Amino acid sequence: MPVILPVNNIMPSFGANCFIAPNATIVGDVQMGNDCSIWFNAVVRGDVNSIRIGNKVNIQDGAVLHCTYKKTTVTLGNNVSIGHNAIVHGCKVDDNVLIGMGAIVMDNCQIGSNTIIAAGAVVTEGTIVPSGCIFAGVPAKKIKDISQELIHGEIDRIANNYLMYSSWFKP
């Protein structure tokens, strides 16, 4: 069974058709939209501030979402994929975003829509990532504008695949 716990009497809430892996951890002030999935060993800690998750969001294996006490929150838009072992901390992510495996997005960052944060990238505190581009590296920098092919071939494909994968685990 997943660990789903209240913090200060605030219980996580989930939309319709969500999948929560048996060893995921979700605590505190977390609100999740519809058609979302939280995968194996992922941690969503709304203990020190709020986490808001849109519709059709997947938080993959080993990923961590957290905030800074009384300073930052996490907001994820719709159609967002958080890759395996990524860390998303105290930031805002707009719609149609892919955060790659092992990427780190720090406090007060804003990630624009239709954007890819490459695997292993480190988006340093306060970085504003414009819509429609790919950021990569340490520290992460814009490497190019994103094509419609990548929006549909990667961002949409991965979000749709995770919706399908989650259906395999439902009775």
Please tell me whether the peptide bond between 2 and the residue prior to it is cis, using omega within 30 degrees of 0: no
Inform me whether the pLDDT recorded for 162 exceeds 80. Answer: yes
**What distance, in Å, lies between the first and last C-alpha atoms of the chain?**
15
Joined together, the tokens standing for residue 75 give: 């907001």
Average pLDDT (154-161) is 95
Give just the sign of the alpha carbon dihedral 135, 138, 141, 145: negative
Q: Do 139 and 151 meet the contact criterion of CB atoms below 8 Å apart?
A: no
Enclosing domain of residue 135: 3-167
- CATH code of the domain covering residue 90: 2.160.10.10
CA distances from residue 30 to 24, 25, 107, 133, 158 in whole angstroms, order as listed: 13, 11, 17, 28, 23
| Tally of domains within the chain | 1
Distance of CA 85 to the CA centre of its chain: 11
Residue type, 14: F
pLDDT in tens, 30-49: 999 999 999 999 999 999 99
Identify which of 77, 89, 87 has the alpha carbon closest to the alpha carbon of residue 42: 87
Q: Which of these ranges, 23-27, 113-117, 145-149, has the smallest mean pLDDT?
A: 145-149
Q: Mean pLDDT across the chain, nearest whole number?
A: 97
In the block, which residue shows the tokens 């300073």?
Answer: 71
pTM across the whole model: 0.96
CA triplet 142, 147, 165: central angle to 5 degrees? 100
